[in-house]
Amino acid sequence: MPERLDNVRSINVPERSDSVPEPSASVLPRFRLGDLDAFESLFREHRRSIYGWILRIVRDPAAAEDLTVETFWRIHRAHARFESARPFEPWARCIATHAALDWLRACRPESELTDQDVAGLPSMPVPDPGIAAEVRLKTSQAFARLPPGLRIAATLAVVEEQPHKDIAAALGISVGAVKLRVFRAIRLLRKDLLEQGIRP
């Protein structure tokens, strides 16, 4: 591994005070040719937004940090396939989404949910707080049992309220396919919740 890329392994790469990140437009053609300075500039400029995108999908800050690093390594390896006339961010989001999808597929869907996961779910006002907590927990568990492709689409569309166009670009599918995945996810969630005795 080149010595200059060692600092890319950590999300908290210190900014150089003597240099201002170059605008992406001037960096992209050099990045495509494999220029490490251009790659580092793109990393500094886009790491926070890519981390935020991944965090929305996986809902785990530690995993999101690891996946952000993995995403940028994938981006670095795929530099020759990048079309420098196109925007960098949608291409990077697509790679990030696939890294997150790989991670979700590798995780057990029946894993324990933390209080933070449950607290992040929106809930309707219910008079009894004990019942509300139970409904949120069962909804979280049902959500975790969704197939990863449906879970990503539903998380980004329903929970994070991202535009279908952005989700489609990140997943590499059509807007219609995103809508279909969200519809299927909601249908599966309703079925799962009904089986648990919760009427959505």
Q: Would you state the pLDDT for residue 23?
A: 54
For helices 175-195 and 129-144, the axis angle rounded to 10 degrees is 130
Contact 56, 162 (CB under 8 A): yes
For the whole prediction, is pTM greater than 0.85?
Answer: no
| Side chain identity at residue 114, one-letter code | T
Within 107-174, where are the H helices? Answer: 115-119, 129-144, 148-154, 164-171
User: Over the stretch 62-121, which tens digit does the pLDDT of each residue have?
Assistant: 999 999 999 999 999 999 999 877 889 899 999 999 999 999 888 755 455 565 665 655
The tokens of 172 are what? 């590499």
In order of their start, the domains of the chain are 22-108 (1.10.1740.10), 113-200 (1.10.10.10)
Residue given tokens 């990503």 in the structure block: 152
| DSSP 3-state of 165 | helix
The tokens of 62 are what? 């530690």
